[in-house]
A = this chain, B = another copy of it.
Amino acid sequence: MTTRALFRLRIYLDDTIAIGPGKVQLLQAIQAHGSISAAARALDMSYRRAWNLVDEMNQSLTEPAVTSAPGGSGGGGAHLTATGEAIVTGYRNIEALAQQATVAEVEALQALLKR
């Protein structure tokens, strides 16, 4: 049996997850695929759900994370703004820092597991 440890950070704005694993994954998919519809397909998510997540994120930020070119029903492209890029980079960096800071303690818990 193999064991792995995953850290997940969620930043709440009131009761909404403004920045969390699902939204950051979606930002990365938009970055990779160049549109919300292609990102939604890649993540096996409806276009409507992806659009709503982007909208929720943009609403919670002082500057939007994603800008879309007009094009009707997801036809236009979308790309990350500087804010969107900063969120992806910052979030991945935070996960890495958290992991590095707790290597010994996580290994101590993993040592309690059957292998």
Chain A residues in the interface with B (C-beta under 8 A): 1-14, 18-19, 59-63, 83, 86-87, 90-91, 93-94, 97-98, 100-102, 105-106, 108-110, 112-114
Which secondary structure dominates chain A's binding surface?
Answer: mixed
> Is the Cβ of B8 less than 8 Å from the Cβ of A12?
no
Min C-beta distance of A68 to chain B, whole Å:
19
> Is the Cβ of A105 less than 8 Å from the Cβ of B94?
yes
List the 5 closest A-B pairs by CB distance, nearest first. Answer: A101-B101, A98-B98, A94-B102, A5-B11, A94-B105
13 contacts between A and B (CB under 8 A): A5-B9, A7-B7, A9-B106, A11-B106, A11-B110, A11-B113, A19-B113, A61-B113, A62-B114, A86-B109, A87-B112, A98-B101, A101-B101
